[in-house]
Chain A
Amino acid sequence: MATEPKIPDLSEVDTPPNLPTGTPMVQFDKVVKRFGDNVVLDHLDFSVEQGERVTLIGPSGSGKTTILRLLMTLERINDGVIYVEGQPLSHMDRGGKLVPANERYLSTVRKKIGMVFQQFNLFPNMKVLENVIEAPVHVLGVPKDEAVERAKKLLDLVGLADRVGQHPTSLSGGQQQRVAIARALAMQPDVLLLDEVTSALDPELVADVLNVLRDIARTTTITMLIVTHEMHFARDVSNRILMFDKGRIVEEGAPDKIFSEPENDRTQTFLRAVLEER
């Protein structure tokens, strides 16, 4: 993967939605999330346009991962509303009133979102190919041979075409993470959430994973929300950086501006700490 990345045919992978102009892909409206007494997100407002790549940075505990987990419906919000393509995610409309979403409703909105986890979360009871095809077959109802064909394309895209028949446990961390990326893309999400996807990897395995993601960012119009400590990667792929502290956005802007001339004190301190560590 270190050589010049090939540009794959991703026409099937990514289906940009036809949004009415002005409708954000993702919108947080005064979102509050608490764990016990600990307020993680404090009336958070922000939105992400279709096709935008937004990286969330900030010290640990600032709520970045929680934002992704809320979008993936792995956590429930305490107050406010999250919209995906203008449709409420956390709530559903019942007789003109927004009530907390039930499982059936969640599944209709959740299908627009895909997520890649820090710890990959591959299923050890399935081989590599099955990890990628099971959800398309069972959840989307894609015929099996079609799912297999698409899965092979995706595994080729992440450089693992020759590993289809292996158990995830026999792969390196970087390879497992690339399978996890293929698995998320196989569900054809509109929004891809990347939650510290290289944090669990040995340093020499990080580059392969980031190159795959750069490929995807370059060749598709999929919307991405990224939480990462890889600042070079963030700079390469992002349209916008959001700097979080204590559950609020303290600064936002284009990568060039945030990384070169951050205005906020906390952004400056944070970036200095992160970049010195590298």
Chain B
Amino acid sequence: MGSFLSQLSQSWGNIGSALVITVEGTIGGAILALVLAFVLGLMALSRFVVVRGVARTIIEFFRGTSLYVQLFWLYFALPVLGFKISSALLCAIIAFGLNFGAYGAEVVRGAINAVPRAQWEGAIALNMSPFQRMRLVILPQAWVAMIPPFNNLLIQLLKSTPLMSLVTIADLTFEAQQLRSATGQTAWSYLFLLVVYFILAYILTLLMNALESVAKARLGRGTGLRGIFRMRPADPTGKSLGAGLAGAGTEIEPVEAANLTSKTMGAGGPGGGGV
């Protein structure tokens, strides 16, 4: 224990820069994943079968192959074929972006589909173009439903960053292993690592909860920033969404509302949904 602590304080500088690398990998990957999630998610909702097909292929491929293998492919295999990506960190960010972007695309698609059909129809009745419907009406509502699953993905992404240590990047996991070999304290080294990842994950969760509270407030519901610790019981009235979206007396969750409306509205597309 004593040798562990003294080694820890000696290598504090290295651990600091390792923390920065881990955060860079997480944030960089998350930004790329977010962009890809929207691009692929919207493409997957297109009216055009070719566009949908391209999106589905990309999503299924990057969701269905291992992140570990994708990273190794970018870092070790691509240079053999003559494409060298300048830095290992950039390789990692691209791999994270592609992999988590594919998962995120399904979140985007699902959240957009869960916006009640009545909202599309309201937008059509005001003669909005397909792009305006999406931008002004649908996405601002779908966004709220995207945040909790995005938070899950963000934490998963953070917890995937130890893979970076396998492609020569000196991230937190790499430094913890250094600590372990220097002190022989396996348990303490990995406990330290667990705690640091947990703290990072919880900070991300609080930030995402704050984002969700703000987004909900813009829809005229939600509990303000006090809600970020998620200590409230479930809301059995479903007041969080019902009234405004689906109409008076039908206080139901968004997915159910979408199902209900699509059942009661019968067949036929909403005059060309999607963009």
Contact = CB atoms under 8 A, between A and B. Distances in A.
Interface of A: 35-36, 72-76, 103, 106-107, 110-111, 113-115, 117-125, 127, 134-135, 138-139, 167-170, 172-173, 176, 183-184, 187, 200-202
A34 to B, nearest CB: 9
Given A119-B118, A125-B218, A167-B220, A183 B126 contact: yes
24 contacts: A72-B121, A72-B125, A74-B271, A103-B130, A117-B118, A117-B121, A121-B119, A121-B247, A122-B122, A122-B244, A125-B141, A125-B219, A135-B126, A135-B127, A138-B128, A138-B132, A139-B126, A139-B132, A167-B220, A168-B220, A170-B220, A172-B248, A173-B248, A187-B126
Interface stretch (B73-81, B86-94, B150-158, B262-270): B262-270
Contacts of B123: 123
B248 A202 contact: yes
Given A72-B124, A117-B118, A167-B220, 6 more contacts: A74-B121, A107-B129, A110-B127, A121-B121, A123-B122, A200-B249
Contacts of B244: 122, 124, 167-169
A121 B128 CA distance: 14
Contacts of B246: 119
B136 A134 contact: yes
Contacts of A118: 247
Nearest to A72: B125
Which of A110, A124, A135, A172 has the most C-beta atoms of chain B within 10 angstroms of its own C-beta?
Answer: A124
B272 interface: yes
A200 B125 contact: no
Interface in B199-219: 218-219
Nearest to B249: A200
Q: Which 4 A-B pairs have the closest CB atoms?
A: A167-B220, A119-B247, A121-B122, A173-B248
B220 A169 contact: yes
Nearest to A111: B127
Contacts of A122: 122, 244
Contacts of A115: 125
B238 interface: no
A36 B125 contact: no
A111 B266 CA distance: 25
A202 B221 CA distance: 22
B98 interface: no
Nearest to B137: A123
Interface residues of B, number: 35
A96 B143 CA distance: 45
A124 B219 CA distance: 5
A217 B123 CA distance: 24
B71 interface: no
A124 B218 CA distance: 8
Contacts of B219: 124-125, 167, 169
B147 to A, nearest CB: 14
B179 interface: no
Interface string B231-269: 000000000000111111110000000000000001110
Contacts of A75: 268
Contacts of B267: 35-36
A125 B129 CA distance: 18
Contacts of B220: 124, 127, 167-170
B224 interface: no
B140 interface: yes
Nearest to B271: A73
A266 B105 CA distance: 53
A172 B219 CA distance: 16
A117 B248 CA distance: 12
B268 A35 contact: yes
A139 B128 contact: yes
A187 B271 CA distance: 19
A62 to B, nearest CB: 14
A121 B218 CA distance: 17
Interface in B7-57: none
A202 B247 CA distance: 12
A173 B140 CA distance: 22
Contacts of B137: 123, 125
Contacts of B218: 125
A134 B136 CA distance: 8
A124 B245 contact: yes
A106 B121 contact: no
Given A125-B137, A125-B219, A138-B132, A117 B122 contact: yes
A173 B248 CA distance: 6
A200 B221 contact: no
Nearest to B122: A121
Nearest to B47: A103
Contacts of B127: 107, 110-111, 135, 139, 187
A74 B248 contact: no
B270 to A, nearest CB: 7
B103 to A, nearest CB: 25
Contacts of B141: 123-125
Contacts of A121: 118-119, 121-122, 125, 247
